[in-house]
Amino acid sequence: MGDPVERFESEVLDSITVIKVASADELCMEIDPPLRENVATAEDWRKALDKVVPAVVVLRITGCRAFDTESAGASSATGFIVDKRRGIILTNRHVVKPGPVVAEAMFLNREEVPVHPIYRDPVHDFGFFRYDPGAIQFLNYEEIPLAPEAASVGLEIRVVGNDSGEKVSILAGTLARLDRDAPHYKKDSYNDFNTFYMQAASGTKGGSSGSPVIDWLGRAVALNAGSKTSSASAFFLPLERVTFLHKGFDETRRLGLRSETEQIVRHASPAGETGMLVVDSVVPGGPGHKHLEPGDILVRVNGDVITQFLKLETILDDSVNKNIELQIERGGTSKTLLLLVQDLHSITPDYFLEVSGAVIHPLSYQQARNFRFNCGLVYVTEPGYMLFRAGVPRHAIIKKFAGQEISCLEELISVLSQLSRGVRVPLEYISYMDRHRRKSVLVTVDRHEWYAPPQIYTRDDSTGLWIAKPAFQSNSLFLSSGVTDFGNLARQPVSLTEEHACGENVSEDNNQELVDGVTSLETNHEDPSAYASHQNVSDGLAKKRRVEECLSADGSVVTDLSLNGTGEAKLEKSSALQDDVLMDYQGATAAAANASFSERVIEPTLVMLEPALRRGDSVYLVGLSRSLQATSRKSVVTNPCAAVNIGSADSPRYRATNMEVIELDTDFGSTFSGVLTDEQGRVQAIWGSFSTQVKFGCSTSEDHQFVRGIPIYAISQVLDIIVSGANGPPRLINGVKKPMPLLRILEVELYPTLLSKARNFGLSDNWIQALVKKDPIRRQVLRVKGCFAGSKAENLLEQGDMVLAINKEPVTCFRDIENACQALDKSYDGDNYGKVHMTIFRQGQEVELLVGTDVRDGNGTTRAINWCGCIVQDSHPAVRALGFLPEEGHGVYVARWCHGSPVHRYGLYALQWIVEINGKPTPNLDSFIDVTKELEHGEFVRVKTIHLNGKPRVMTLKQDLHYWPTWELRFDPDTAIWHRNIIKSLNCTTTAVVQI
């Protein structure tokens, strides 16, 4: 292995060397009282702790990116001063982290200084941070001397640290073992090896990592590294140079150790050696591969008998990049080998590729040992959006990409630089759980609008930062639309009117004609929680990936809103409160690979608006299976007008409201979707998926999917406007601008109540008879469940109001209200334009109200800002549906947050509004940008927030423009292009244009 101080700058090298080689007398020369018998009094411990506690610091660490064995995230730990003059803090390797990290050290008097990593050991669990000693102005402290030779069984110790995040904690214990095997945490995480650990029942918990284990003289005899959650056992790393597996003579005899060799070893160890070093594993591709085997017993190194880790590592450290002679015994046969000692730092990655949220780097020595792979292979430590969407998991090893064999990261970058955005290429990978078989997936080359262009981050040990630069200069990856031109197939627009629907019947094989118009649509809601785990999602969408069967009608795709996201299809129009979505389907104009398909056109689907389905009607569910095989199943309608009732989820997200669905007598399961047709193959409804949250007890819940029929009339009125080209602003569709419908709605959530119950609330018989006459089937009245915050109906309608009539016409169902709202645009009513006259029943009285309506364009959120790792946007409908917005301009809503970001570090999570920054109001996105663009890198910012429950909070966080620049995302509905604009970073300002 490499010399652990080889990569230090010169003055750090000197300091660490002194720490490692100083004698016990030198280390203890400032300790009072002098060395004496190991019997400590309470006064002794008090004096020792008085010296030690000021030199122990709380470390607040943010891993900005997943890298090697560590995930992105924020945590706290402990460190202690070992060199006061140079400002060096000793802690654990898993605290320093192998990847990008931002950290601060808080001293006893709560002075806080930034620290940066200067070393992390490639094998053992220790590393060093450095700080500016001149930054500590108000605290007197001394460095803690190291005394590894003082450790002994029975030694009384104290662990001084940040146990369980308690800032200063002192836990007592007694060293019970000095020869415990290095603890094994997880098979895919960091694990120390080739050393003994110490063990004591001190009961340390999270936050104690890196704490000094001190004796009564105030000397550090070990470094706290881990603990066992099922007991009070804590594991301490010895503070000496350490690196095979130590096995007793009883086991080495069973491995074939010859008796004469055992005798030589015992005689060579006057201290009474009880065992020898045995090879446990060999990393593939390393110097020992095909030379050493598990079970080999080490006898001599360079002619010297070696039985201990410390002596072996001393020889290895002094022989880096040189050959050493090993004498081993294998099954009773002695062998002599000449092996090269490799520098472990040379095979520890110090750079990575970030593309579309994925973090990819050469496989490290640690993970090569864990997974039994060669070092340097292309390793996916975080799949991000593009790879996660294709099904590539964490810890995957990429072997082939776009038809090219991949053996190193540079080859992957070279292939990426030649690919256009949107192209789909095969990728082959292996995983340590199924190492003998390659898996093949299709990857859509796409960074998407959330991410910067591919970048290479390289570690700079002089500053502790990872410096980013473009992975390649070519812009082809993101400028090409990636759409294959299959030719311009003719299509005749056909309005989906009742007359057309009632025309000639389709062919005898009715379902076959319909199958041609049904497509399988896969959508992905961009969610860098694939960045693993961002909380909540923009606009409250619940799912990340879905595959559904959809109806093709005049080149547009009709599906349900649970699919609404940033998928391959383009979002055309979503109705305001219902569950239908129209998407532009480029595939409807494209020819298939075979000639027979390319010679004909997909015909628009025939629909039947009237008469509406009734209970007992027969319908056919037509769709595609997961293997894209056409299926048709017959069923009977049991309820043609069941009101959807989906309760609020833990986090605000889209849910279908104010709509009726069709229920069938057959349960087709939650995975089958398609369309409902009559016997002539005319579509009467789409069979769509809904998401609801089922709660178990008070604290647990899980998503539940169910499918119902969505009547075709809910979709046809929107599609008619798109096809006819009337009403609304234009939107680019396949290169042609078409007007998009503007839907006028009443932003109120309603629910039906049976008239028999309404009578009990005091509703008069006259109104009951009028409502029954209007609708003898439903026999219901609509009641107000709540108004959207910020809507024109807010403060006018109240919860529990019964809606009896609109414009003097009785109202019995959701469709009545929709029709009344849409009719407002056909007539002008002066000052009352856009308002409906409502007759309601409230607390025994009839009340006449003039209630305003709101207009939705179906685009959803078209603007978002990423600041310090959180996504802020205007309050989307799912949030406003809760009925609450902060006063004084509302603020900007935090929709999601990213692991390893400043907001994660300081606890600014989703489900709240930012209303002030540094005392300046942020009522909207424009004001938010104006305030944040004036903030500097590393500046502490005071943020006032209001939670969904109405609770205000003021917190501080430190802005990090190096790893988390401020950027804005805007959607242009005229061109269907997202613009990504860097508002502020440490680099130059750039704008990325992304077409979806």
State the catalytic residues.
94, 125, 208
Between the alpha carbon of residue 849 and those of residues 171, 750, 763, 838, 855, the distances in Å are: 69, 17, 18, 5, 19
How many other C-beta atoms can be found within 10 angstroms of the C-beta atom of residue 881?
26
Please state, in angstroms and rounded to a whole number, the distance separating the CA atoms of residues 95 and 91: 7
Q: How far is CA 294 from the centre of its chain?
A: 39
Q: What's the CA gap between 740 and 722, in Å, rounded?
A: 6
C-alpha torsion sign, points 375, 376, 377, 378: positive
The total number of residues shown for the chain amounts to 996
Q: Which helix (H) or strand (E) holds 179?
A: strand 169-181
Three-class secondary structure of residue 9 per DSSP = coil
Residue among 802, 795, 820 at smallest CA distance from 745: 820
Q: Which of 719, 716, 627, 709 is nearest to 668 (CA)?
A: 709
942 bridge partner residues: 956
Are 359 and 385 a contacting pair, CB within 8 Å?
A: no
DSSP-derived letter for residue 364 is P
My answer on whether omega of the bond before 33 falls inside 30° of 0, hence cis, is: yes
Residue 375: C-alpha distances to residues 4, 369, 620 (Å): 19, 9, 57
**CA separation for the pair 839, 952 (Å, rounded):** 38
Rounded CA-CA distance 582/562 in Å is 12
**What is the rounded CA–CA span in Å between residue 806 and residue 759?**
20
Q: Choose among 82, 77, 20, 98: nearest CA to 210.
A: 77
Residue by residue, DSSP assigns 251-292 as: HHHHTT--HHHHHHHHHH-TTT--EEEE-----TTSTTTTT-
- Say how far apart CA 475 and CA 468 lie, in whole Å: 17
DSSP of 144-170: PPB-GGG--TT-EEEEEE-GGG-SSEE
Contacts of 880 (CB under 8 A, 6+ apart): 747, 788, 789, 790, 791
CB burial readout 755-775, b (16+ within 10 A) else e? beebeeeebeeebbeebbeeb
Cβ within 8 Å of residue 700, ≥6 positions away: none
Q: In this structure, are strands 73-83 and 570-574 parallel, antiparallel, or unpaired?
A: unpaired
Residues 6+ apart with CB under 8 A from 10: none
Counting runs of H as helices and runs of E as strands, what totals does the chain give?
Answer: 21, 58
What is residue 133's three-state secondary structure? helix
Q: How far is CA 534 from CA 526, 895, 901, 964, in A?
A: 11, 10, 10, 15
Name the nearest CA neighbour of 853 among 725, 739, 742.
742
Whole-number Å distance between alpha carbons of 460 and 619: 67
Structure tokens at 7: 């990569």
Structure tokens at 662: 């069709």
Rounded Cα gap, residues 977 and 980, in angstroms: 10
- AA identity, residue 16: I
Q: Locate 762 and state its tokens.
A: 């005091």
Taking the CA of residue 306 as centre, how many other CA atoms within 13 Å lie in the half-sphere pointing to its CB?
Answer: 25
- Residue 838: alpha-carbon gap to chain centroid: 46
Q: Output the six-digit token pair for 153.
A: 């069984």
